[in-house]
Structure 1
Amino acid sequence: MALGPNYKVKPRRRREGKTNYYKRYVYVLSRAIRLVVRLTNEYVIVSVMKFDPKGDITIASAHSIELVKKYGWKGDTNNTPAAYLTGFLAGLRAKKAGIESAVADIGLFTPTKGARVFYAIKGALDAGLKVPMGDIELDENRTKGVHISEYAKKLEAENPEKFNKLFSRYLSRGLNPKDLPSHFEEVLNKIKNSGE
């Protein structure tokens, strides 16, 4: 550990790994409206924020638990299809609030190919919000949960016991994971028709 008169303790939120102050500084200087995507162990949270000297102001927000409570989503609340749907819902709400464009803010998340944060951003894009995302290509099948469905089919044929254990939450909610793509389309249509 460094000692002496030149040693500086980093800010608490930086030490805890919660805030990258350089990125934050750039966002504040740009005064851009941000599409903030945060992933937790259980949920996806997508918010549209604008800077204010007293603290950020949330213009529109969506939480993946809303998919369960309002739209009858029976899948997991933190998987790829849930990230897309949450981003789509946040994008619709931002458009309704008069926001046309935003910059993506993924926080301390390391951008990797096929990451869920990009599917949440894609959802907002498909809702009509303009978000610069570069040339990142996302798999349409992963958006709908086809990869989960195919894995469930394979697992059920090879190891039914593991299938029941691994997909117990889906089955307890009354959804066979093999039907996830059609369930995704059903929930997406409910969100589109809700007038959010």
Structure 2
Amino acid sequence: MAKGPNYKVKFRRRREGKTNYYKRYVYVLSGKIRLVVRITNKYVIAQVVKIAPKGDVVIVAAHSIELVKKFGWKGDTNNTPAAYLTGYLVGLRALKSSINEAIADIGLHVPAKGARVFYVIKGAIDAGLKIPLGEVGIIEERIRGIHIANYAEKLKSEKPELFSRLFSKYLERGLDPKDLPSHFDEVLNKIKASGG
């Protein structure tokens, strides 16, 4: 560790890799409402947040576990289609709360092209929320999970034992992975019908 009279110890959350204080400072100065996207090992979490003097205030939120509990989603809760659906859900809820625009806050996620955080944002945009989003490498067929269905079909014919191991959770929930795109459409229609 560095030593000397001019060395400054970074804030604890920066040392732990949880907060980028420069980005946070810019968000606070802008005063704009943010769409905060966080992806864990199991879930996708999206929140619409406004800055207040005592701390952030969450206006609306969506969690990918809701897809399973409320809308009958049988796929993974942190893959690309689940990320899009979670974004769509939070977008509808934001519009219900009279929020029409926001800026994206992806935290410490690396903004790599085609990253799942951008699919959450795309879902919110498609729901009607205005969020500035540049060219981030979104592939339309990935939204519906066509890439997962194609891979599952290929694996089922070439290596059935690997297929049953990799897609065991899908099969346990009663979903054949090749039917994921149609299942996605079904869940998306349920979300639209519910209005968030």
Normalising by the smaller structure, the TM-score range is: over 0.9
Q: Secondary structure at the match of 1:56?
A: strand
Supply the RMSD in Å over aligned alpha carbons: 0.7
The aligned residue for residue 29 of structure 1 is 29
The aligned residue for residue 55 of structure 1 is 55
Alignment of 1:7-46 (within 5 A): 7-46=7-46
Alignment of 1:7-156 (within 5 A): 7-156=7-156
Aligned-pair distance for 1:137? Answer: 4.1
* Distance in 1 between residues matched to 2:56 and 2:109, nearest whole Å: 20
Q: Secondary structure at the match of 2:54?
A: coil
* Distance in 2 between residues matched to 1:181 and 1:53, nearest whole Å: 44
* Distance in 1 between residues matched to 2:144 and 2:101, nearest whole Å: 25
One-letter amino acid of the structure 2 residue matched with residue 97 of structure 1: S
Q: Secondary structure at the match of 1:188?
A: helix
Query: Taking structure 1 as the reference length, what is the TM-score of the superposition?
Result: 0.98
Q: Percent identity?
A: 72
One-letter amino acid of the structure 1 residue matched with residue 135 of structure 2: D
Aligned-pair distance for 1:113? Answer: 1.0
Q: Could you report, residue by residue, the CA deviation over 1:95-125 in whole angstroms, capped at 9, with x for unpaired residues?
A: 0000000000000111111110010000000
Aligned-pair distance for 1:134? Answer: 1.4
* Distance in 2 between residues matched to 1:120 and 1:195, nearest whole Å: 17
One-letter amino acid of the structure 2 residue matched with residue 159 of structure 1: K
The aligned residue for residue 166 of structure 2 is 166
Aligned-pair distance for 1:136? Answer: 2.9
Q: Could you report, residue by residue, the CA deviation over 1:61-93 in whole angstroms, capped at 9, with x for unpaired residues?
A: 000000000000000000000000000000000
One-letter amino acid of the structure 2 residue matched with residue 51 of structure 1: I
* Distance in 1 between residues matched to 2:65 and 2:177, nearest whole Å: 19
Q: Secondary structure at the match of 1:81?
A: helix
Query: Taking structure 2 as the reference length, what is the TM-score of the superposition?
Result: 0.98
* Distance in 2 between residues matched to 1:132 and 1:47, nearest whole Å: 16
One-letter amino acid of the structure 2 residue matched with residue 108 of structure 1: L
Q: Secondary structure at the match of 1:51?
A: strand
One-letter amino acid of the structure 1 residue matched with residue 166 of structure 2: L
Q: Secondary structure at the match of 1:138?
A: coil
Q: Secondary structure at the match of 2:61?
A: strand
Q: Secondary structure at the match of 1:59?
A: strand
* Distance in 2 between residues matched to 1:151 and 1:135, nearest whole Å: 26
* Distance in 2 between residues matched to 1:195 and 1:94, nearest whole Å: 11
Identify the range of structure 1 (67-76 vs 133-142) with the bigger mean alpha-carbon deviation: 133-142
